[in-house]
């Protein structure tokens, strides 16, 4: 991890300077933005496959049960001698991945028993595991920084605070020995405890010892004012590194096994028949989902992370109907939504409106009791924006959008009404009853339409030169005649073999 961070810092310093880099990495909002974007990118990739496998809610279950994996591993580390219980330990990732896979296996086992259905099996397993985790946290890990609020909502705003320092210059570690001129000495009582006396007791004996001896990193040495020259430091938030690693891992996995994942998702039976191990790949996918959920845990918590897995792919699916396109579009859309959501949390709604102005207006209009400060959770704002994007895609999608199908429906109805009228004229033209049937004045009664609709259809047909009115009688033009023929020919064959398609 540290090496990767050093490498990244080295790269970044080629495009920016130290001061700017530290300003960005130390800025709560900038780091929240970067982390949110990385979570969105990393989650959308496996999320696409979850969505296609109808496993959307499995993502929700896993994002909760990984907590049990974390807690159990943490307690195990604390119990085992020689290992340090640390919330940044890589072992926690392993524990979380195991918990995620266990969730899926347990759900499958319950479902196979035939007693409950799949959705209920999931509903049984994940609250159980999550509840155990919550109890363990509150009972056993009270002193640890793991509280239920953080677990549920995440703390993307304080990602910057948990950083690792990287020293770039003047990085000599310092060893202070008792002979060092900077060593400070103090006295301590050697027999006070033994004799149960105070240090002021005349029987007390003392020895001298060094107060500040030991080894210091350059940063610690500077903080303790042991060196005159400040080392050059970069504080790199840990969450950015872990999210970046997970994003790269997901990207590599899906790029490498794209073909196998596609077949295993579309037709697992064929994948198995071709020896492409769909079950193994499925487990691998669940491991990735678990690892992603854990890495995203600090930032967005366990409840909202499911949105990062599911909404961007669902949005992309509304817009495109090729898997490869969805896999490109979903992460991009997720990152964009993170950006918009981050701005939204600061009160800027897509650059269109300021929430503060809006709230002030509402306050004046209906009275919000002075609730005019717009200050909201970044992760919640991102999820809102993801949903807004989804909504926009749903309404405006050129593929199957609401608006489009509405327009198409309207156009079909208009076209049909036109053909009906043309057919009516065609049917009665030149017959004895033409004078009454085709009279412009009484037409709407013959068609059974309102006069307004009749006039509208007529106007459209006349505009397109398909119909003319001569002495108050409707007549087909040559174009109108052709249109009627075409429509009737089409109708004649359309009923015969709808499924043949050739």
Partner 1 sequence: MNQTPALHIEDLTVAFDSRPALWDVDLAVPEGVLMAIVGPNGAGKTTLIQAALDLIPRAAGTVRIFGEPVARARGLTGYVPQRGSVDWDFPTTVQDVVMMGLYGRLGWLRRPGADERQRTLQALEQIGIADLATRQISQLSGGQQQRTFLARALVQDARLYFMDEPFAAVDAITERAIVTLLQELRARGRTVVVVHHDLQSVPDYFDQVTLLNVEVIASGPTAEVYSEDNLRRTFGGRVAGIARLTEEAPP
Q: Which is nearer to partner 1, 228 or 498 (CB)?
A: 498
Both structure tokens of 90: 């890589």
Least CB distance to partner 1 at residue 488 (A): 24
- Binding residue (CB under 8 A) for partner 1 from 140, 161, 274, 403: 274
Does 279 sit near partner 1 (CB under 8 A)? no
Residue whose token pair is 């640390």: 86
Q: Of 126, 309, 317, 374, which lies in the binding site for partner 1, with binding defined by CB under 8 A?
A: 317
Q: Give the separation between CA 74 and CA 91, rounded to whole angstroms.
A: 8
User: Of 185-193, 317-325, 369-377, 403-411, which part binds partner 1 (CB under 8 A)?
Assistant: 317-325
- In the block, tokens 């149960």 appear at 196
Only segment of 3-11, 75-83, 189-197, 269-277 that touches partner 1 (CB under 8 A): 269-277
Taking CB under 8 A as the criterion, the residue among 263, 284, 360, 473 binding partner 1 is 263
Strands (DSSP E) found in 156-304: 163-169, 174-176, 185-189, 206-210, 214-216, 232-237
Residue 85 sits in the site that holds partner 1 (CB under 8 A): no
Q: Does 271 participate in binding partner 1 (rule CB under 8 A)? A: yes
Site for partner 1 in 101-160 (CB under 8 A): 114
Q: What is the 3-state secondary structure (H, E, C) of 336-403?
A: HHHHHHHHHHCCEECCCEEHHHHHHHHHHHHCCCCCCCCCCCHHHHHHHHHHHHHHHHHHHCCCCCHH
Distance CA(161)–CA(174), nearest Å, equals 25
Length of the chain: 502
Work out which of 260, 394, 404, 455 binds partner 1, going by CB under 8 A.
Answer: 260
Touching partner 1, residues 351-380 (CB under 8 A): none
Can you say how many angstroms the Cα of residue 466 is from the centroid of all Cα atoms in its chain? 54
In the complex, the smallest distance separating the C-beta of residue 314 from partner 1, rounded to whole angstroms, is 12
Q: Please choose, out of 194-202, 218-226, 316-324, 437-445, the segment that lies near partner 1 by the rule CB under 8 A.
A: 316-324
| Joined tokens for residue 197 | 């006396």
| Segment interacting with partner 1 (CB under 8 A) among 33-41, 82-90, 136-144, 491-499 | 491-499
Binding of partner 1 by 71 (CB under 8 A): no
Would you give the binding string for partner 1 spanning residues 240-259, x where CB under 8 A is met? ----------------xx-x
**Rounded-to-10 torsion of CA 271, 276, 278, 281:** -150
Interface with partner 1 (CB under 8 A), residue from 276, 332, 336, 447: 276
- Residue 87 found at the interface with partner 1 (CB under 8 A): no
The reply on whether position 262 binds partner 1 by CB under 8 A is yes
Which candidate, 59, 45, 51, 44, places its Cα nearest to that of 286? 59
Interaction between residue 494 and partner 1 (CB under 8 A): no
Q: Which is nearer to partner 1, 59 or 271 (CB)?
A: 271
Q: Name which of 7 and 255 has its Cβ closer to partner 1.
A: 255
Q: Is 52 in the site for partner 1 (CB under 8 A)?
A: yes
DSSP secondary structure letter of residue 203: T
**Which residues touch 191 (CB under 8 Å, ≥6 apart)?**
197, 203, 204, 205
Write the DSSP string, 388-442: HHHHHHHHH-TTT-HHHHHHHHHHHHHHHHHHHHHHHHHHHTTSTTHHHHTBTTT
For residue 335, state whether it binds partner 1 (rule: CB under 8 A).
no
Other beta carbons within 10 angstroms of residue 351's beta carbon come to: 8
Binding footprint of partner 1, residue count (CB under 8 A):
33
Kindly state the helix (H) or strand (E) to which residue 467 belongs, with its residue range. Answer: strand 467-470
Q: Could you tell me the smallest distance in angstroms from the CB atom of residue 394 to partner 1?
A: 16
| Closest CB 297 distance from partner 1, rounded Å | 30
Contact footprint for partner 1 (CB under 8 A): 52, 54, 114, 256-257, 259-260, 262-263, 265-267, 269-276, 317, 320-323, 325-326, 497-502
């Amino acid at each position: 991890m540290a090496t990767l961070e050093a490498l990244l810092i080295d790269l970044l310093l080629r495009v920016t300077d130290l001061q700017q880099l530290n300003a960005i990495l130390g800025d709560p909002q900038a780091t929240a933005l970067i982390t949110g974007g990385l979570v969105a990118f990393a989650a959308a990739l496996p999320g696409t496959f979850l969505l296609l496998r109808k496993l959307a809610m499995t993502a929700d279950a896993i994002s909760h049960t990984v907590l049990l994996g974390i807690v159990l591993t943490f307690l195990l580390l604390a119990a085992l001698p020689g290992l340090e219980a640390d919330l940044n330990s890589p072992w926690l990732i392993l524990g979380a991945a195991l918990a995620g896979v266990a969730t899926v296996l347990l759900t499958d086992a319950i479902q196979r028993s035939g007693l409950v259905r799949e959705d209920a099996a999931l509903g049984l397993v994940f609250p159980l595991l999550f509840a155990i985790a919550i109890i363990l946290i509150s009972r056993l890990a009270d002193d640890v920084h793991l509280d239920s609020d953080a677990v549920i909502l995440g703390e993307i705003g304080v990602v910057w605070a948990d950083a690792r320092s990287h020293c770039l210059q003047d990085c000599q570690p310092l060893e202070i020995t008792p002979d060092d001129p900077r060593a400070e000495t103090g006295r301590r009582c050697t027999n006070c405890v033994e004799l149960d006396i105070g240090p002021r007791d005349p029987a007390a004996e003392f020895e001298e010892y060094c107060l500040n001896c030991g080894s210091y990193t350059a940063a610690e040495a500077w903080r303790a004012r042991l060196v005159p020259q400040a080392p050059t430091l970069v504080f790199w938030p840990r969450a950015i590194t872990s999210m970046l690693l997970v994003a790269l891992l997901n990207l590599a996995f899906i790029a490498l096994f794209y073909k196998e994942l596609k077949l295993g998702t579309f037709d697992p039976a064929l994948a198995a028949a071709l020896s492409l191990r769909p079950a193994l790949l499925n487990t691998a996918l669940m491991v990735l989902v678990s690892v992603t959920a854990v890495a995203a845990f600090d930032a967005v918590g366990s409840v909202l992370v499911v949105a990062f897995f599911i909404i961007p792919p669902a949005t992309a699916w509304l817009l495109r109907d090729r898997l490869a396109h969805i896999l490109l579009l979903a992460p991009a859309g997720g990152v964009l939504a993170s950006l918009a959501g981050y701005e939204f949390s600061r009160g800027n709604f897509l650059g269109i409106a300021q929430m503060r102005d809006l709230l002030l207006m509402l306050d004046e209009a209906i009275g919000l009791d002075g609730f005019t400060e717009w200050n909201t959770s970044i992760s919640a704002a991102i999820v809102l924006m993801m949903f807004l994007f989804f909504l926009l895609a749903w309404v405006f999608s050129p593929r199957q959008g609401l608006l489009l199908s509405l327009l198409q429906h309207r156009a079909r109805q208009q076209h049909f009404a036109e053909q009906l009228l043309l057919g009516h004229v065609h049917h009665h033209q030149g017959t004895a009853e033409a004078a009454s049937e085709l009279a412009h004045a009484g037409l709407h009664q013959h068609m059974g339409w309102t006069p307004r609709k009749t006039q509208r259809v007529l106007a459209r047909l006349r505009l397109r030169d398909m119909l003319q009115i001569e002495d108050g009688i409707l007549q087909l033009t040559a174009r109108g005649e052709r249109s009627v023929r075409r429509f009737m020919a089409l109708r004649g064959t359309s009923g015969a073999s709808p499924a043949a398609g050739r």
